Amino acid sequence: MKISILTNNESRPGFDSEHGLSIFINHPIYKILFDTGYTDVYLKNSDKLGLKLDNIDIVLSHGHYDHAGGLRFMNSHNSINRIYVHDDAFNQKYIDEGSVRYNGMPFKKEELVELNDLFVETSGFKEVAPCFYLLSDISHDSYNDKYYVDGHLDDFHDETILILEENKCLSLFMGCSHFGVVNGVKAVKKRFPNMKIKNLLAGMHLSSKTIEEIIKVGNELEALDIETIYPLHCTGKLAIDYFKKRFKDRCIILKAGDQINI
């Protein structure tokens, strides 16, 4: 399948970037847009790449602005089949970094009049179609002391992993891995115990972690026998540089504007 990075924190020359994530996936059976970033950057970059976002399914990984905000700039003229999102992704989400600010979706679902009938709310494990799965409500013990939803600490049960199967191998897509990237991979392996994880494309939410914490994650990812790792978005420069040094050719660094066959 061919992967195009439409939004990421860094971009190739001639392409736009922003704090956010959007990936276009041209699977042999499906065309999927995984997340939409915050603004219309993903649409601008798709135009530059000559991509037509038609006859697509959209998967929103979770209810933060930098993954779902770009949906405001999409409309029914783009020929969308369905928009998959967890039931609770539209809840009111905030972040406290000394001062509290809103961190959730910058719109209400009913405001997206042209798209409203396309939403499919999901939870738990869902087989969307052959070779196309969604997994959420992942139990974890990741420490969170700054993200809130509806007045309490967010457990990120709405964060959804996109799982695509091709030739008996799995490719995993994670938006921010707020549940912990290792926990996410383990949850997938529990569902698919006899399948190889070929690709992990993920924002790993390690930008605020120490090198010791990053090394621990690296040790755990090594033990999970993932063929290729693609660290994106909120993984952070320290972690990306470490993973590249550690995993070498098994770690591929991508920026907005990059396209790769996996």
> Picking from 108-117, 204-213, 237-246, 253-262, which range would have the lowest pLDDT averaged per residue?
108-117
d(CA 104, CA 177): 16
d(CA 23, CA 34): 5
Q: What is the pLDDT of residue 140?
A: 85
Superfamily of domain 2-261: Ribonuclease Z/Hydroxyacylglutathione hydrolase-like (3.60.15.10)
Closest of 51, 64, 32 to residue 171, by C-alpha = 32
- pLDDT exceeds 80 at position 188: yes
Q: Give me the residue spans of the domains in the chain.
A: 2-261
What proportions of the chain, in percent to the nearest 5, are helix, strand and coil? 25, 30, 45
Name the percent of the chain lying above pLDDT 70: 99
Neighbours of 192 (CB within 10 A): 16
Asked whether 157 and 120 are in contact (CB, 8 A), the reply is no
pLDDT tens sequence across 80-123: 999 999 989 999 999 999 999 999 999 988 899 889 899 999 99
Name the percent of the chain lying above pLDDT 90: 90
